[in-house]
Structure 1
Amino acid sequence: MQHILDRFVRYITVDTQSDPTNPAFPSTEKQWTLARMLEQELKDIGLSEVMLDENCYLTATLPSNVSHTVPTIGFVAHIDTSPDFSGKNVNPQIHKNYDGKNIVLNADQNIILDATYFDDIQQYKGQTIITTDGTTLLGADDKAGVTEIVTAMEYLVNHPEIKHGKIRICFTPDEEVGKGAHKFDVKAFGAEWAYTMDGSQIGELEYENFNAARAVVTIQGKNVHPGYAKNKMVNAILVAQHFINGLPANEVPEKTTGYEGFYHLHDILGDVEKTTLEYIVRDHSLEKFKERKENMKSLVSSLNQKFGEDIFSIEIKDQYFNMKEKITPVMHIIDIAAAAMEKENIKPIYKAIRGGTDGSQLSFMGLPCPNIFAGGHNFHGKYEYVPLESIEKATKVIINIAEITANKYK
């Protein structure tokens, strides 16, 4: 496993954080650093048709080694890391033979990965846990996925006795800011279906996800001298609270689970004159998703009636939709992934993603693309970790999918 560990560490120590405020593609120049590194590595391990395009999408091919016709399949991961927490100077900590107890990430700053609070970690006793040093995220989302795909392709190149059809891989930029599939050329990729390696705990196999939208509420105030403000000032900061309080208090991420949707206020920027509220809106049910968007619009209308026309305005933009609609007609691709896991004594965990992946957008672009575990936990923050054994298992699952697919179409 040292080879896998070295590769993973090499990837996560490259800062590839994306930027939601930059409309450029990719949103940060530093994503090119890892893309170019991977471009050379894919050539070195023997893949063909290695191409890094002008938008920072890196694709490559492992040619078929069988004489019969097998559908071309693909594997996808993203190279960027979340803008929610620093990805600069990642200093991974390696904890061998984990004992199930708290892990001190940073003694100087008293940052501790609490094994009671983050109790999922206890299922990995005896394994090698890779954590942060408490000052950055780790980047297992999704450099664990990148590691798994590269390692699996390298293994298949070096073991031609394992039979497989044509395999295409793609590493995308800007997934964390919702643009990972925006410039993905599905036709040129040429796969009949694909899998994103971007899930969390070992065993996850996901083909349902949220319907998602971004909503920006703008409150236009009136700023006058506070000494003469009576019946004249409209304090946008204070008025904004009426919108926040007008949404259901229990329909937020921290109070929902499973198939329950939510409104998530994730950013506020403002002063007396103008305040903006940025929300993400999520629901697995398309009908409820539409209702949520209408609720926000109705709330804006009612508040304008109360405080005056044009005080509140809202802009809502759909981001992605539930891929279940596109996966259900081709459930054999889920069966293949499940069989690949079971071959490694992994029980598939069918979960509805409380988020989205490149695969959700790709599925609606004509490339059915469910999601498979990459192994990490606590993404987007300093408590992120990944068991090394989970990365190894995910690598084997990719290899098994390739072999099972080839055998299925004999």
Structure 2
Amino acid sequence: MLVTHAESFERGRLFDKATAAIGKGLVVSNGSVHRRQRKLLQPGFHRARIHGYMETIHRQVDAQIAGWSPGAHLSVREEMHRLTLNAVTGTLFGANTEERIAAEIGDYIDAANSWVGLHTLLSGRVFERLPIPINQAFVRKKARFNEIIAAYIESRRADDRDQGDLLSALLAAQDDETGQGMSDEQLRMEISGLFVAGSETTATALTWLFHEVGRHPEVDARLHAELDAVLGGRPVTMEDLPRLQYLQNVISETLRRHSPIWVLTRRTLRALELAGTHLPAGAEVIISPMMVHRDPRLYPEPLRFDPDRWLPERMQKIPRHAFIPFGDGKHKCIGDVFARTEMVIAVATIAARWRLVPVPGHHVREVPRAVLRPNQVLMTAVPRSSTPVS
């Protein structure tokens, strides 16, 4: 449906609601608007550009974990949320972005995810206008968020030097046919989409990754052994990415077992038959990457966390389009390579200094919201020197 019949569908109800939070940017658009915006944004995610972002991400991760104390109980979800938010903010606006600004942006992302998750389930727009706390917080924090983004755009318009960040790439982007760049309003909407779509999902994936690695000592040992052998404590480079194969497998298995984007929606543009079912025009269709990734016909023992299922000889048995953590087809996430690179840097930087050990007796469960997140993950920070890999 996401690939073969893509021209018969547009984004559905979930994305309609997201428009109120982030505007009509790439993340929610369809048709010619989507094609135009994807071409404009794509240069900001080219390999050379991502290479330039890596130092910023490493610096943000390193600064955060410097504040951890041996034996401290960490809320891993909160730590990863702050970590990815600072990394995305630094990537977009430059490494010297104030943490206060990142915190205000984070407040809005939390409010937006809660608002979109709630109103996707509610029928009609009347609930969006009720003077209830979730609506009031959303409106207030959205206004402040838009002020922050507008100020950055205005500042950069006055200084058109390429500063190596993503905003510089967006400002320089020009339409092939018209030669025009994006308006301030379009820039604001695209930046909003990158924040809302790009920080919470990666934070959630990292949280699940550390939870699973902590639960599986054999995975923990193999992961640290690879990182020690390949990196020896130095920062990750672009050339290291294909060499960290076990870490890549751990990331893939985390995205399969705990798909942050657990549900997608599509709406039929015309009547069609799909898998023997007649769908009229305008029908809302729900796709669940989570259910695909937990189908035992595709993944034997689907609830078992097994990074080795991504070894080349076993991957050959996985059907094409059966792994869709970033969606698929023309609407596949534009930042998939960036997100995986960010995860590699975060895990490698943290694991060079710390081992995260589960707190005994703490139960973790899945909470389906805009993303499929854990209720809470409490882990103890143990310095690597205290727990040598055996």
By relative contact order (CA 8 Å, sep 6+), the higher-ranking structure is 2
Shorter-chain TM-score category?
under 0.3
TM-score (norm 1): 0.26
Q: Decide which structure has greater strand share.
A: 1
Radius of gyration: which is bigger? 1
Q: TM-score, structure 2 length as denominator? A: 0.27
**Higher share in helix:** 2
